[in-house]
Chains A and B, each alone.
Chain A
Amino acid sequence: MNDMTFVERTVDTRQTKIAAKNVQVYYGETHAIKDVNVEIEDKTVTAFIGPSGCGKSTFLRCLNRMNDTIDICRVQGDILLDGEDIYDKRVDPVQLRAKVGMVFQKPNPFPKSIYDNVAYGPRIHGLAKNKAELDEIVEKSLRRGAIWDEVKDRLDAPGTGLSGGQQQRLCIARAVATEPEVLLMDEPCSALDPIATAQVEELIDDLRQRYSVVIVTHSMQQAARVSQKTAFFHLGNLVEFGETGQIFTNPEDPRTESYITGRIG
């Protein structure tokens, strides 16, 4: 496996960043994810779509082991990040989460200042040597989160005092600040207006230059606009996975077609 990625890297095709094999997730007795196989490529935006409750968030949370915090949640199968099993006993989930950042469905800024919200990650990971560097990281991250212009004069104001959409962009800035290799975004735009949505989509496109981005969305248009790959989930199954263009124009599975055309969901 390691050899393969090495070979791929040398020929500079899009390499696999995360590979999930036969992943099953159970919440107690509930079988939430059923035998999912998927390969998420580096420098690519992958969209997860599907009706509510089909397990998109659950699967996304498997990718940075956020499910560890749920007592009743069990994950089976293999998830490899750069060829390494992230559920291996030797893996420290904390280290993993620094590499695989996450933006949550509901904006959840810390009840601290805007500055501290963004600076927290870099601080605990020791990414900045001094205050000036930290300032720079904060500014850069806020710019990439498309919120710099709105908050640059009140970095000391509490992050919780922002509007819902601003909070979400602050959370994106916070996730970007730790320089993750993979960014998981769970419906990042569900609380945003069209302008902010466009800005975030631009950001996602920009992030693709360096990272792998996985985005869960309920908006077909958004999936079509930002992603190169799309995965369609239904009742815990991965029904179809492929190039975004192909999924939207010529889906193979009838369930995908009916979802996209609005007949199930």
Chain B
Amino acid sequence: MTDHSQSPDTQPSKHAGSLLSPSPGTIKRNRAEARFKGYGIAAIAVGLLMLLVLVFTIVSKGVGAYTQTFITLDVELLESKLDKKGNRNLDDIKKVTTFGYAPLIKNAFATKLEELGLETDLKAKDQAKIVSKSAAAQLREYVIANPDMIGKTVTFKFLTNSRVDGYMKGRVSRESIAKDKSISVAQLDFVDQLVAAGVIKKTFNLDFILGADASDQRPEAAGMGVSMVGSLFMMLVVLALALPIGVAASIYLEEFAPQNWLTDIIEVNISNLAAVPSIVFGILGLAVFINYMHLPTSAPLVGGLVLTLMTLPTIIISTRASLKSVPPSIRDAALGVGASKMQSVFHHVLPLAAPGILTGTIIGLAQALGETAPLLLIGMVGFIASNAPDSLSSGLLSPNSAMPAQIYEWAKRADPAFYERAWGGIIILLVFLVTMNTVAVILRRRFERRW
């Protein structure tokens, strides 16, 4: 200031020239900026394109799993086959195995053909083969549940064999089955006849979403339902353990613990734990929970415990970050009016940090939901065939699977029909993940406060 008044500036201004014509420097600078924007837009475009390809692939490959081919047949529940003594004794009825039911299905085909006036060269045995192997079991279950229906004719909707299903979905063609022993061209012709007559139809398949996994020979019957229950149980365990432990640990570390070498070490270790590959947690769970503590293998409880270990660092890190983001002046204000440390934390800091904590927890849960590797090690990839009410009541200690493990299991099996189901399962998993992340984003937007 004083310098200026004493020696008036004699040098010309450094910014000579009209404002209306940009200087060379400005032009160069603006070009660089435009180029940088271009790179950014290109990067985003590439990202979006990849996302689009991903979503398109998953949906186009997986959507087939949600429809299934069914055949409608009227089955006469012959007393002579099912209850020879005729006294409707359940123990006797149960003695008839699924083999005993196979002839009923053959008969049903015969009556159907007669009723429709259709002609075929196919032998009765081969006709019945277009029906899923689960059909006999379905019949048997029905009869055991309703023994008084024996002797009557009942209309059933059976799953067709996965080859027939594949034929309906365009996966299987007359050429592709040249070496396939489980289906012949004649059978496909027969299927065409039945489709034309409206006996075979492709409809939405709720059982894929709610049902249990099925054995290698019956991909048409496999569903995600039981593994969803397994995942649900595990998430409950993770939520019940990781949230309170994680939040308590972070509050202690962030608000109460003194700053010394011990807390520094703890801090570094928590950050490191977050980067530990999940399979390490899996083998740890195998060693500690199963081999040492003798918890049952394949149980959602063990899976939940392992995933808790994995989720804890995520929750602790995000909770600490959101506690840190609460301005210290709020703590000062509370202490200044005579609140205790604990009151200042629980009355003021925690409510402000809550949205961040919840977001972190949900993201941690979503991570755990999609985790596969540790589950393989503790054996949660079994095939569990119990259906909805049973699977729900089976609880935390009986063997179960989980969604990602189920998908892995299907992808591993040889039959292409399972492959389609793996993609279908991925859709369900993604729907869960996207929902959880959306909830997290909404929570954050909703409760975010600004100072």
Contact = CB atoms under 8 A, between A and B. Distances in A.
Contacts of A171: 333
Interface residues of B, number: 22
A97 B338 CA distance: 5
B347 interface: yes
Contacts of A175: 336-337
A101 B334 CA distance: 11
B332 interface: yes
A244 to B, nearest CB: 26
Contacts of B258: 71
B330 A110 contact: yes
Given A71-B258, A108-B330, A124-B343, A102 B336 contact: yes
B393 interface: no
The residue in B259, B333, B449 that gathers the most chain A C-beta atoms within 10 A of its C-beta is: B333
A121 B338 contact: yes
A111 B451 contact: yes
A177 B336 CA distance: 12
Given A69-B331, A71-B258, A108-B329, A94 B336 contact: no
A178 B333 CA distance: 13
A59 to B, nearest CB: 16
Contacts of B352: 111
A69 B335 contact: yes
A97 B330 contact: no
A99 B335 CA distance: 12
A66 B337 contact: no
A174 interface: yes
Interface in A83-116: 94-95, 97-99, 101-104, 106, 108-111
Contacts of A69: 331-332, 335
Interface in B394-411: none
A71 B451 CA distance: 25
Given A69-B335, A94-B340, A104 B347 contact: no
B257 to A, nearest CB: 10
Contacts of B169: none
Nearest to A103: B336
The residue in A95, A101, A102 that gathers the most chain B C-beta atoms within 10 A of its C-beta is: A102
A120 interface: yes
Contacts of B338: 94-95, 97-99, 101, 121, 124-125, 178
A111 B449 contact: yes
A160 interface: yes
B339 interface: yes
A156 to B, nearest CB: 16
A174 B339 contact: no
A121 B337 contact: yes
Contacts of B449: 111, 160
The residue in A64, A97, A106 that gathers the most chain B C-beta atoms within 10 A of its C-beta is: A97
A141 to B, nearest CB: 11
Contacts of B218: none
Contact of A124 (B327, B329, B339, B341): B339
B348 interface: yes
B346 to A, nearest CB: 11
A71 B254 CA distance: 13
A180 to B, nearest CB: 8
Contacts of B329: 104, 106, 108
A174 B347 CA distance: 16
Q: Interface size bucket, A side?
A: 20 to 34
B451 A97 contact: no
Given A98-B338, A124-B338, A104 B330 contact: no
B336 A66 contact: yes
Interface string B330-371: 111111111111010001100010000000000000000000
Interface in B235-265: 258-259
Nearest to A99: B338
Contacts of A108: 327, 329-330, 332-333
Given A124-B338, A125-B338, A160-B451, A66 B333 contact: no
Contact of A104 (B336, B341, B451): B336
The residue in B327, B331, B336, B343 that gathers the most chain A C-beta atoms within 10 A of its C-beta is: B336
A81 to B, nearest CB: 14
B334 A110 contact: yes
B259 A66 contact: no
Contact of A110 (B259, B333, B335, B341): B333
A178 B259 contact: no
A250 to B, nearest CB: 32
The residue in B329, B331, B337, B449 that gathers the most chain A C-beta atoms within 10 A of its C-beta is: B337
A98 B449 CA distance: 28
Given A66-B335, A178-B337, A120 B347 contact: yes
Contacts of B451: 111, 160
B132 to A, nearest CB: 61
A166 to B, nearest CB: 15
B340 to A, nearest CB: 5
A108 B331 CA distance: 9
Contacts of A120: 334, 337, 339, 347
The residue in B259, B339, B348 that gathers the most chain A C-beta atoms within 10 A of its C-beta is: B339
B323 to A, nearest CB: 15
Contact of B335 (A97, A109, A125): A97
13 contacts: A66-B336, A94-B339, A94-B341, A97-B336, A98-B338, A104-B332, A110-B334, A120-B337, A124-B337, A124-B338, A125-B338, A174-B333, A175-B337
The 10 closest A-B pairs by CB, nearest first: A98-B338, A108-B329, A121-B337, A102-B336, A108-B333, A97-B338, A94-B340, A71-B259, A111-B449, A178-B337
Interface of B: 258-259, 327, 329-341, 343, 347-348, 352, 449, 451
Given A64-B336, A110-B330, 11 more contacts: A71-B258, A94-B338, A97-B336, A101-B338, A104-B332, A108-B330, A109-B333, A110-B348, A111-B352, A120-B337, A160-B451
